[in-house]
Structure 1
Amino acid sequence: MPDDEVLQDEPHREIVRVGDSVRRPVQPWSATVHALLRHLEAVGFPYAPRVLGIDGEGREVLTYLDGESGPAGWAKVVDDDGLVAMARLLRDYHEAVAGFRPSAGAFWAGRTEPPGAGEVVCHGDFGPWNLVWRGTRPVGILDWDYAWPARPVHDVAYALEYVAPFRADDECVRWLRYPAPPDRRRRLERFAEAYGLTSTAGLVDEVIDQQQLVLERTRQLAAEGCEPQVSWQASGALDRIAERVRWSRAHRHLFS
Structure 2
Amino acid sequence: MAQERIRLVGDRVHRPAGWWTPTVHALLEHLHSVGFTCVPRPYGVVDGEEVLGFIPGESGAAGWARAVPEAGLRALARLLRDFHQAAASFVPPDGARWALSDGPARPGQVICHGDFGPWNVIWDGPRPVGLVDFDLAQPGAALDDVAYALEYLAPFRDDAQAMRRQGFTAPPDRARRIEVFAEEYGLPGSAGLVEAVIHRQQLTGHHVRVLAGKGLEPQRTWAAEGFCDELASRVQWSRDNLVLFSQATPTS
**What TM-score, normalized by structure 2, do the two folds share?**
0.94
Cross-structure match for 2:239:
249
Name the counterpart of 1:53: 44
For 2:104 and 2:219, how far apart are their aligned partners in 1? Answer: 23
Q: Is 2:94 aligned against 1:94?
A: no
Which residue of the partner structure matches residue 224 of structure 2?
Answer: 234
Q: Secondary structure at the match of 2:64?
A: helix
SS in 2 for 1:14: coil
Q: CA deviation at 1:103?
A: 2.8
Instruction: Tell me the alpha carbon deviations over residues 156-199 of structure 1, each in whole angstroms, 9 at most, x when there is no partner.
Output: 11100000000011111111111111000001101111111111
Q: Percent identity?
A: 54
Q: Which residue of 1 aligns with 2:249?
A: none
Asked whether the 8 Å contact 1:157–1:203 carries over to 2, the reply is: yes
Q: What's the CA shift string for 1:190-244, capped at 9, x where partnerless?
A: 1111111111111111111111111101111111111110011122222111110
Distance change >3 Å, CA 113–CA 216, structure 1 → 2: farther
Match of 1:159 among 145, 149, 157: 149
Asked whether the 8 Å contact 1:104–1:114 carries over to 2, the reply is no
CA deviation after TM superposition for structure 1 residue 113, in Å? 5.6
Q: How far apart, CA to CA, are the structure 1 residues paired with 2:200 and 2:231?
A: 12
CA distance in 2, matches of 1:127, 1:120: 18
Q: What code does the residue aligned with 1:109 have? A: A
- Contact 1:54–1:61, Cα closer than 8 Å, also in 2: yes
The C-alpha deviation readout for 1:48-91, integer Å capped at 9, x for no partner, is 10011233x33211000100000001110111111110101111
- 2:119 is the counterpart of 1:122: no
Partner of 2:171: 181
Q: Which residue of 2 aligns with 1:3?
A: none
Structure 2 residue aligned with 1:139: 129
Specify the SS of the correspondent of 1:87.
helix
Flag structure 2 segments of 5+ consecutive residues without an equivalent: 247-252
Look up the SS of the partner of 2:129 in the other structure: strand
- Structure-2 separation of matches of 1:39 and 1:183: 37
Question: CA 1:9/1:238 → structure 2, altered by over 3 Å: closer, same or farther?
Answer: closer
Q: What's 1:4 paired with? A: none
Q: Which residue of 2 aligns with 1:196?
A: 186
Structure 1 unaligned runs (5+)? 1-7
Taking the aligned partners of 1:205 and 1:72, their CA distance within structure 2 comes to 29
What residue is the counterpart of 2:250 in the other structure?
A: none
Distance in 2 of aligned mates of 1:190 and 1:200: 9
1:56-95 equivalences under 5 Å are: 57-95=47-85
Equivalent residue, structure 2, for 1:33: 24
- What code does the residue aligned with 1:251 have? N
Quote the RMSD (CA, aligned, Å): 1.5
Partner of 1:15: 6
Structure 1 runs of 4+ with >3 Å offset: none
Offset of 1:249 from its aligned partner?
A: 1.3
